[in-house]
Amino acid sequence: MAALPNLITVAQFRDLPEGGEYAYELHHGEVVALTRPKIRHTKMQVRLSRLLELKLKSFGEIIIELPHCPLAEFEVRAGDVAVISRSRWDASDSDGYLAGAPDLVIEVRSPSNTRKQLLELAALCLANGAREFWVVDPDTRTVSVMGPEGSASVYDAGGSIPLAVFGGGDLAVDEVFG
């Protein structure tokens, strides 16, 4: 029988040193090293953030790489772009991580993402507070939107992503990839 890995908690993860060539997340109690994003990825994060700030200003905050704990004890993730309601933002512990998943989690697909990883992350976030989970794919120029009830829609050129659940109108896919 194989030995179980030494799992660490969120509290132990918070005490680890930061910096270096990798960013770190806590996945199921295991520390995972992530490469830093390339400029293309970062530009997409900034673009999405700016577009959503215009549309969702009254809803709350739009944040790039927001650390959050979808599960309290063994998970620390950071969505590429996160939207969080003003009331949750104001109530957040300034010295900790956001409890639960952000209201909207957006992942910009990169070569290191597998479909399975993205689906598992979507399920984790949607089961722990996210109202929607988006996968933005710069290669196919599509935005996949998943909801907690299991719905999934794919939007492409000429389409618009509804933002009604966040009190906004809609976001044109052409603006996302403009």
* Spatial distance between the Cα atoms of 116 and 84, rounded to a whole number of angstroms: 25
Residue pointed to by tokens 């990883």: 117
- The 10s digit of each residue's pLDDT in 151-175 is 899 999 999 999 999 998 999 999 9
- pLDDT number for residue 130: 97
Most confident option among 2-6, 43-47, 93-97, 148-152 = 43-47
Quote the number of domains for the chain. Answer: 1
Give a yes or no: residue 114 inside a domain: yes
pLDDT at 55: 96
Is residue 65 in a domain? yes
pLDDT given at position 106: 98
Query: Residue 41 phi/psi, 5° resolution?
Result: -65, -45
31 lies in a domain? Answer: no
Identify which has the larger pLDDT, 102 or 151: 102
pLDDT at 1: 57
CATH of the domain at 97: 3.90.1570.10
Report yes or no: 178 and 160 within 8 Å, Cβ to Cβ: no
Which residues are registered as beta bridge partners of 79? 66
Provide the pLDDT for residue 16: 87
Question: Each residue of 11-32: pLDDT tens digit?
Answer: 898 888 887 788 888 999 999 8
pLDDT tier for residue 123 given thresholds of 50, 70 and 90 = very high
Q: How high is the pLDDT of residue 6?
A: 83
Q: How far apart are CA 50 and CA 114, in angstroms?
A: 27
pLDDT for the residue 4: 60
In a domain, 23, yes or no: no
Establish if 11 belongs to a structural domain: no
Question: Per residue in 32-91, pLDDT tens?
Answer: 888 888 899 999 999 999 999 999 999 999 999 999 999 888 999 999 999 999 999 999
Q: Is residue 165 part of a domain?
A: yes
Structure-token pair, residue 132: 């929607």
Q: Domain range spanning residue 50?
A: 38-176
> Would residue 18 count as lying in a domain?
no
Hey, which bits of 16-128 come out as E strands?
A: 22-27, 30-35, 60-69, 77-85, 98-99, 104-108
pLDDT of residue 36: 82
In a domain, 57, yes or no: yes
Q: Is the pLDDT of residue 107 over 70?
A: yes
Q: pTM of the entire structure?
A: 0.91
